[in-house]
Structure 1
Amino acid sequence: MRSKKLLVIIPDGVGLRNFVYTKFPEEAKKAGWELLFLNMTHFDLKGRGHSEIKLDPKPSAWTDILKRAKILIELDLFKNKFDDPVYEKYKFPASNKGFKNKLKNFILSILIRRYNSESGLVKLRRKMKDAERKTGYYNTCLEILKRENPDVVFCTNQRPVNAISPITAAQDLGISTSCFIFSWDNLPKATKVLDPDYYFVWSEYMKNELLQYYPDIKSDQIKITGTPQFEIHNDRSVIINKKDFFDIHGLDKEKKYLCFSGDDITTSPHDEYFLKDVAEEVEKLNQKGHRLGIIFRRCPVDFSERYDKILKDHKGLIVPINPLWTGGEGYWSHAIPTKDDLHLQTNIIEYSFMVINVGSSMVFDYAAKGKPCAYLNYLPSVTNLEKDIREVYSYTHFKSMPDKNSVYWINKKSDISLIVENALKDPHAVVFNAQDWFFKINKTNSEMNASKHIVNQLDSLL
């Protein structure tokens, strides 16, 4: 009898982070799976000792238009179903420059009018699969699957158009298919593009969300596993000696450091002004006798120069430690994290006492290590305000917060120094609430071994 074989689709950097750099390959092999990665990134997995098939995905352009129509229709239906205008905020305006874009938008408007209903969505999903079946890319996927004959096909991300062909080809061959919902904010944003046989989610909370947004999915199609992305914070073997970490990054051993975690330019277009405010308030605390510094970790896909002046003006106080990602060009889907960056991030958390940002999931990374987060929640002093970042907290995924005091709320610049002092003195109440929130949205246990849970659920599909 041959061993059970698992084909794992890696369409982007998120898949690498969660299912290559974590315990997942080790747990899968331990459970007797022959592991094969269908790798759509430029990253070399063979060099890391993994079996891979490199694939240059070429989905149909028509499929992409259908996907855009599907997302916009779903957001309209969500808005009406839940009587909540917040779903409008998840729509991003398409470019109308040039003839091609104008034609695409015209076709998109026709599709939305024609299929704007639950039954219309069923037809759109069917059309997406049919469009892919007509491509050479689908036929390539079909040939790979026939040759490799896996028992299960598992996609590490629910949203890429690139994955429709391999998932559809597997279903056409009668192979069990599944996918992972990779982030806590994905489902309300209508990013679910794939329709596999099974879904792997972080928690009971996320399972209920999936059933709420997609009532055609049955409860037994959903497997609760947690997410591998936080496993690193329970691995003491990757923690560098404090002296070495401070020496490597030019940190002052006499100072205590907070972390300012930067946001992407869409979420927080004036993020550099928040960093400036934090720096000025921390300087005031140092004048009162504190010995504090700021570690600045920019958003991995923010390649702008917008922070440069602030970093120059506060050199010595702010120490930038850049993420170890490759590629990107400003797009999440193109950016590739490295395993070294996972180690870097957990060491930054280890050697900082809190994090400050605009609505980031870093709250959970810090909660995993028993440390607090402060959310910026005010308008910075800028002449031409591009966005009120306070609207971020109206997004649906923040409704999962069981207690408003799961984070410190910085409602004005002068709050910063008081909150930093509170975080130094007694952060326990906030941390306790943040951990309750973390456990609510992410099934976990003392080992934080989501990889093992995922492998166990993959076994159950057999």
Structure 2
Amino acid sequence: MKRLGVVIADGVGYRNFILSDFLKEASALNDEVVIYSGLLKSVYHHQDIPNNVTIKELKIYRETSFTWLYRKLKEVAHMQLHKKHFGIKCSLENGYPKKLKSKRDYLTLLVYWLTTVFKSESWIKRYENWQYKTYTSNNTYREYLSVIKENIPSHIFFSHQRPANLAPFLAAAKACNIPSSSFIFSWDNLASKGRMLGDFDSYFVWSDLMKKELLHFYPSVKSEKVTIVGTPQFEPYVLEAYKKNKEYYHEYFNLDKDKKTIYYSCGDKSTSRLDPLYIKTIAEAIKNNKIKEEVNLIVRTSPAEDETRFLDLIDEYPFIKWNFPDWPLTRTDHPETWSQRVPSFKDLCDLRALLAYSDININMCSTMSLDFILFDKPVINAVFGNKENGLYNDQKYLKYVHYSHVIDTKGVVVAKNEDDLITAINLELASPEKNKVNRDKILALEIGKPLKGTSKRIVEALNQI
């Protein structure tokens, strides 16, 4: 029997592999598909799940002190080894304990000190081996072993390579001698984050660029073990089920159909702290007729947070339209609560409508730049903050490896102050086609395959290995 195991880590994994065509394709090419879910089993009841798909809800794993120490050594050593890359250097600095208030702070400081010396690939492997040995006496790990043995898969596919709480599940798969693979979850994960949760037998990446990054940061990975498949993150944009017409767009979001629309997409407050400033700047420009055309302004907040930090703007500018993503929090007793926010089918329909019918997008160096460019629309990146002006330094994100490629293509417009932003809005509204060639360069670089057929491509590649 050909049985595929699929590990869904979080709400974004649910979006990528449940709300795309992945399950339909996987169920057609396998006798059985077993979903090992880091989400509650009940969240899948909202979808049409094929008959040969079984869902197994994974018990929440809570890390022990020794496991944390070895994992931390592994992750920090990886960042020490690659800190010449600006994004990784920033992540390394962000994790350094600023104040020593607890035992964990002192241990973190010790980890940073040790890994300035013991940071080679061989040391990283050693830390990981120690980390994985701690699982053998863990009750959750033993339960994972039992769950796997109930329906032993031919292969286990991880939809995300990073969540540390899935490491004992990977350890259990290895103990059962089941081959494993992982999809590299996001375009920034390799060049700005710490170590993966473990070693996989094979890997799936978005593009040739991402393959080169993987081989650089993980030199023990063999090139033939890496397959370029694109990403299912954007596949719903080409599926008929998610398409809404322009009338729905204007009516649902309460927009004036005779005006063009500026769509501002927020990041989360940990990295995109200046969202309120950028929204206020745009609103004031509209209010004071600095935008040459009459426009709608719609703001979509991050799925990872609620509207709390925007309440003053909601009151001050009643003409702004707001879209709060329908990603309900499904449980609060998880170590990473944000991961338990799960998108609805309708929310993805609404997002697609915003992308398809809005005229320009403004964001702070977000993945949303790619989403909007896929619809061949102009994108402006607002980054006012730097080390000198007292604002949160969001201009640093322009130097991150994954985003520097975007900037180098000149397919997006960078606005470093209010005048730049207003000028860019007026120019992009007047001439939306002027950057088309450069936008196409971004897509060719970052998304290596066509959106149509992405899920089928991944499933066929899984079957081949």
Q: Secondary structure at the match of 1:29?
A: helix
Alignment partner for residue 37 of structure 1, among 35, 40, 46?
35
- Is structure 2 residue 183 aligned with structure 1 residue 160? no
Could you tell me the TM-score, scaled by structure 2's length?
Answer: 0.90
Bigger mean CA offset, 228-237 vs 416-425: 416-425
Measured after TM superposition, the shift of residue 368 of structure 1 is 1.0
Bigger mean CA offset, 33-42 vs 203-212: 33-42
1:300-311 aligned at under 5 Å gives the runs 300-303=303-306, 305-311=308-314
Measured after TM superposition, the shift of residue 452 of structure 1 is 1.1
User: Which residue identity is paired with 2:403?
Assistant: F
Against the structure 1 CA distance between its residues 173 and 431, is the aligned structure 2 distance closer, same or farther, given a 3 Å change threshold?
same
CA contact (8 A) 2:41 2:56 kept: no
CA contact (8 A) 2:145 2:172 kept: yes
- Is structure 2 residue 140 aligned with structure 1 residue 142? no
Deviation by residue 1:142-185 (Cα, 9 ceiling, x = unmatched) = 11222211101011100112221222222222211011111000
Match of 1:185 in 2: 188
User: Which residue identity is paired with 1:436?
Assistant: K
Measured after TM superposition, the shift of residue 203 of structure 1 is 0.9
- How many residues matched? 452
Against the structure 1 CA distance between its residues 191 and 334, is the aligned structure 2 distance closer, same or farther, given a 3 Å change threshold?
farther
Deviation by residue 1:175-224 (Cα, 9 ceiling, x = unmatched) = 11011111000001224222111111111110110000111111111111
Match of 2:322 in 1: 320
Against the structure 1 CA distance between its residues 191 and 423, is the aligned structure 2 distance closer, same or farther, given a 3 Å change threshold?
farther
User: Which residue identity is paired with 1:367?
Assistant: I
Match of 1:377 in 2: 383
- Is structure 2 residue 341 aligned with structure 1 residue 343? no
Alignment partner for residue 362 of structure 1, among 356, 361, 368?
368
% identical aligned pairs: 27
Measured after TM superposition, the shift of residue 257 of structure 1 is 0.9
Match of 1:130 in 2: 133
2: CA distance between counterparts of 1:287 and 1:395? Answer: 31
Against the structure 1 CA distance between its residues 31 and 440, is the aligned structure 2 distance closer, same or farther, given a 3 Å change threshold?
same
Match of 1:439 in 2: 444
2: CA distance between counterparts of 1:102 and 1:394? Answer: 29
2: CA distance between counterparts of 1:185 and 1:33? Answer: 35
Match of 1:410 in 2: 415
Could you tell me the TM-score, scaled by structure 1's length?
Answer: 0.91
Alignment partner for residue 82 of structure 2, among 58, 78, 87?
78
Measured after TM superposition, the shift of residue 85 of structure 1 is 5.0
1:174-213 aligned at under 5 Å gives the runs 174-188=177-191, 189-213=193-217
2: CA distance between counterparts of 1:459 and 1:70? Answer: 32
Against the structure 1 CA distance between its residues 119 and 140, is the aligned structure 2 distance closer, same or farther, given a 3 Å change threshold?
same
Measured after TM superposition, the shift of residue 291 of structure 1 is 2.2
Alignment partner for residue 420 of structure 1, among 404, 425, 432?
425
CA contact (8 A) 1:64 1:161 kept: no
Deviation by residue 1:33-53 (Cα, 9 ceiling, x = unmatched) = 411111111252552335201
Against the structure 1 CA distance between its residues 116 and 191, is the aligned structure 2 distance closer, same or farther, given a 3 Å change threshold?
closer
- Is structure 2 residue 91 aligned with structure 1 residue 87? no
Alignment partner for residue 270 of structure 1, among 260, 271, 274?
274
Bigger mean CA offset, 364-373 vs 29-38: 29-38
CA contact (8 A) 2:290 2:422 kept: no
1: CA distance between counterparts of 2:242 and 2:69? Answer: 44
CA contact (8 A) 1:282 1:417 kept: no
- Is structure 2 residue 218 aligned with structure 1 residue 217? no
2: CA distance between counterparts of 1:303 and 1:194? Answer: 33
User: Which residue identity is paired with 2:234?
Assistant: F
Against the structure 1 CA distance between its residues 6 and 72, is the aligned structure 2 distance closer, same or farther, given a 3 Å change threshold?
same
Q: Secondary structure at the match of 2:75?
A: helix
Match of 2:175 in 1: 172
Q: Cα RMSD over matched residues?
A: 2.5
Match of 1:17 in 2: 15
Measured after TM superposition, the shift of residue 423 of structure 1 is 1.8
Measured after TM superposition, the shift of residue 114 of structure 1 is 7.0
- Is structure 2 residue 253 aligned with structure 1 residue 255? no
Q: Secondary structure at the match of 2:25?
A: helix
User: Which residue identity is paired with 1:39?
Assistant: S
Deviation by residue 1:69-103 (Cα, 9 ceiling, x = unmatched) = 22211111102xxx445532113335757544345
2: CA distance between counterparts of 1:359 and 1:263? Answer: 9
Alignment partner for residue 232 of structure 2, among 206, 212, 228?
228
- Unmatched tracts of structure 1, length 5 or more: none
Match of 1:151 in 2: 154
2: CA distance between counterparts of 1:113 and 1:408? Answer: 38
CA contact (8 A) 1:402 1:436 kept: no
2: CA distance between counterparts of 1:12 and 1:151? Answer: 23
1: CA distance between counterparts of 2:41 and 2:258? Answer: 40
- Is structure 2 residue 24 aligned with structure 1 residue 26? yes
1: CA distance between counterparts of 2:271 and 2:317? Answer: 24
